Structure 1
């Protein structure tokens, strides 16, 4: 009997230990299971995969180092995470609400042998603490990006934010990259690149093409240019300014078809030279002038019509110059609105040919009318 007691005590201790470890394991499992099976809202926007070529450009723009931690918000099928881990060797975490996409992306990461590099969790991105991230990638919407601003502002200094197609609030990007319309079936893609702390104010957007240009050159399709000029109701005695005039096509059309004088501002010396040759070949050197310079320094007070194909951020920065234009002048923008300004007319154009995407033309007449907040 006396020998039995120590044996029973030993068995009890073993069972207790087993029970503890079983509980501990169950607790960890339960925590994960409860997290995975918690009630979640439906995704805010439908899933649209980011084209592979855009993924490559986004990651290149992020300036990734091997020791970086990347968060992809709304990670979809995991393509950004997998590409970042395979190509740059970084750790990558994805956050996605759709359970089917979570499982699909986890399977893809496993198949790529990236279990130790890539983590995908089902989470509401608006609840995340992003403070550990070195890079955050987004392919969401303007509204969601704006809602994420408080979390993005909490990122550590030097962290990078790379957003596909949509700006982050009213902050000024370090770089804005735009793909030509022939890429990916004719749709253009914007990539906004930011560094924390985010910048506000009138700082010029950094270059993606030569010296202090705000955006890389993508030509306006001829049918869109024609529609813009027709919508402007140009008279022969008027002067048209094209800001970011590229190869000079809008200037040439304004002078040749409407008899107007035309002035272009272009910062890329190569494009300035090319457009001047085209103007001379068309016999329009007496009516068309191309100035090599920063469009933010243009005096628009003599302009009757201003044409733009820039970005919402750059359009907004031009507001002081627009306000100096004489009453009744017209401003026309290809694809991009002027934030905070009520437009007068919106026209849709489908250029056809290689340009498959429908385009939008916005028209304003000065003085500009602010939209009440």
Structure 2
């Protein structure tokens, strides 16, 4: 590997890790806390995910000699943040994470399951994702209403950064977030010392519990969101850049690392989609055969960032909850706009997509099962009814 390493791939790998972590760690923390995790359990989950995706990316990149970038499931975390705590607490959520990991492994091993996930109509999958994300995307507005002196600097920094460079938007918003906490929030004496002491988080092993409601309302939607929103687009990004990986082994490997991270609070790791393009494109290296080294560096930096998750979580705990939600919401604006545009693009499926979006975004659970699951079913029923109607009119 060292003979293929270059300064270009070293810089791009480190930048990819920073952008991936900085742009979405707030969403992950919100998702885990939304499931009932304590601060210590959320820090453990963040660390477990970072280490798992770093090691998984290193292993797959070295084995395939392709730039395989691994990320945590950001849309999955957004879904968790809007689902609300489960009866039975975080232990039941961890049980659902384990079921999700097993389903991802099965999707890699059994082609019929992989094909079943791939056959979910794209408008419905995107509408469900948009419905999941919209709640968090309201957070920046709510933060400004809560306290303009807190919310506005973060929002303004995000748009100024985006105007300079799309990749600079969230890092600049995070810088503004740090300044707001340091100079605007009333922090108890000795709080920053506690942040320093919490640099290395202690892994929190959670004994999982299982329930039918958690499997239906958390595990299944999380599996669908992770596969349709991350794994399948991740394969597409690699193919666009000239690589032809076998999807099955990649899915199975990410599922295994998800399984290892779940008992420590990690919800899921998967193929990266957005940041994957950074390591797979020409910016990582002119020679496509040497770009895998950027993904290896990315994985190494992810592990290092994960080991500092305790300090990140402790620092975030000093701020009002709505402020960190605002950072997470800003990070999801691009994903929301992309999924919404894809969902409502085709006139023939627009009504079914709207139904999926509305049921999912309502956040209402029926029979203990979350709206995301019912949204997909309702949209599928409307789509099937529309297809039957068009078929009948065609015969008439």
Structure 1 length normalisation: TM-score?
0.21
Bigger strand fraction: 1
* Greater share of helix: 2
Compare relative contact order (CA 8 Å, sep 6+) and give the higher one, 1 or 2.
2
TM-score, length-scaled by structure 2: 0.20
